[in-house]
């Protein structure tokens, strides 16, 4: 879980079941997604999700750097998740730390399960995720932005990857935790889903849940991922359904 900034523990759930920002337990924060804002990248997307602001850019398939990582039978995917120094309350030390390396790794693995890498041997597909403002759930927002950017770059994939974090807040299972809920709640469980196959390609958990709660959390997270997926498809349609625009090869039918 993220840093605990405040000293006093806020009341996370009101008597009438409302959360700290007025949401119900199964409600997502507001989300906007824009596909293709960066003209120099092969594909890009900007996602504002609650108070998170995340940009993703995709380059490739292109030459592999460093060359010794090259694979003769398929493309490699190289994801780099980075949190800007100004993205959090207290300035974060710039550069890659253990947390961002771990997140980069799990996001790479999620995409390896959907991208048709064997179509582009000896190349690299480079995915940059820049968190400009953070408020919990940034790895999920990063995954969603990167997924849209991959589709925008025309990278062939079995499906888009959707993601959301679920957790346990004041004893209840809740969808899409914000910072205070992540910090002071009992559990945080980010997950990523390939909706058409129903496959989970990322699950991590910090905190405690019993088996029933875990089952409930996975159900709620799956529902949340499907809602996000619809929004992702809408965002792609908003760019590619404009008359005269070509469909990106990466978008599933």
Specify the residue for token string 């993703």: 56
The nearest distance, CB 161 to ligand ADP, in angstroms, is 15
Residues 123-142 binding ligand ADP (CB under 6 A) are: 134-139
Measured CA to CA, the distance from residue 140 to residue 101 in angstroms comes to 15
Structure tokens at 156: 């062939």
The nearest distance, CB 41 to ligand ADP, in angstroms, is 23
CA distances (Å), 148 to each of 34, 38, 105, 153, 161, in order?
Answer: 9, 13, 18, 9, 9
Structure tokens at 191: 């997950």
Give whichever of 117 and 183 is closer to ligand ADP, judged by the CB atom: 183
Give whichever of 3 and 14 is closer to ligand ADP, judged by the CB atom: 3
The nearest distance, CB 210 to ligand ADP, in angstroms, is 21
Can you state the percent helix, strand and coil of the chain, rounding each to 5? 30, 30, 45
The nearest distance, CB 213 to ligand ADP, in angstroms, is 18
Give whichever of 5 and 17 is closer to ligand ADP, judged by the CB atom: 5
Among 3, 14, 32, 196, binds ligand ADP (CB under 6 A): 3
Give whichever of 62 and 99 is closer to ligand ADP, judged by the CB atom: 99
Binding of residue 182 to ligand ADP (CB under 6 A): yes
Among 188, 201, 213, 220, binds ligand ADP (CB under 6 A): 188
Nearest-Å Rg of the Cα atoms of the chain is 18
Residues 17-76 binding ligand ADP (CB under 6 A) are: none
Please enumerate in sequence order all residues whose Cβ is within 8 A of that of 193, keeping only pairs 6 or more positions apart, or say none: 161, 162, 163, 199, 200, 201, 221, 222, 225, 226, 229
Which DSSP category does 11 fall into?
A: -
Using Cβ positions, the residue closest to ligand ADP within the complex turns out to be 2
User: Residue numbers of the site for ligand ADP (CB under 6 A)?
Assistant: 1-3, 88, 90, 92, 99, 134-139, 165, 179, 182, 188, 190
């Amino acid at each position: 879980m993220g840093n605990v900034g405040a000293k006093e523990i806020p009341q996370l759930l009101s008597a009438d079941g409302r959360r700290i920002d007025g949401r119900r337990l199964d409600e997502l924060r507001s989300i906007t997604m824009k596909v293709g804002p960066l003209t120099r990248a092969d594909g890009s997307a900007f996602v504002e999700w609650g108070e998170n602001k995340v940009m993703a850019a995709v380059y490739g398939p292109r030459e592999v750097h460093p060359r010794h990582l090259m694979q003769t039978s398929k493309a490699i995917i190289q994801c780099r998740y980075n949190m800007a120094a100004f993205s959090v309350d207290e300035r974060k030390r710039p550069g890659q730390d253990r947390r961002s390396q771990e997140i980069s790794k799990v996001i790479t693995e999620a995409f390896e399960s959907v991208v048709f890498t064997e179509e582009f041997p000896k190349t690299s597909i480079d995915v940059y995720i820049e968190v400009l403002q953070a408020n919990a759930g940034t790895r999920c927002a990063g995954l969603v932005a990167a997924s849209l950017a991959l589709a925008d770059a025309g990278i062939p994939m079995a499906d888009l990857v959707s993601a959301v974090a679920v957790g346990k807040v004041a004893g209840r299972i809740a969808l899409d935790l914000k910072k205070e809920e992540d910090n002071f709640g009992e559990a945080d469980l980010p997950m990523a889903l390939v909706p058409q196959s129903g496959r989970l390609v990322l699950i991590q958990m910090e905190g405690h849940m019993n088996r029933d709660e875990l089952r409930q959390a996975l159900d709620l997270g799956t529902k949340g991922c499907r809602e996000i997926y619809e929004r992702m498809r809408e965002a792609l349609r908003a760019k590619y359904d404009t008359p005269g625009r070509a469909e990106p090869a990466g978008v599933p039918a």
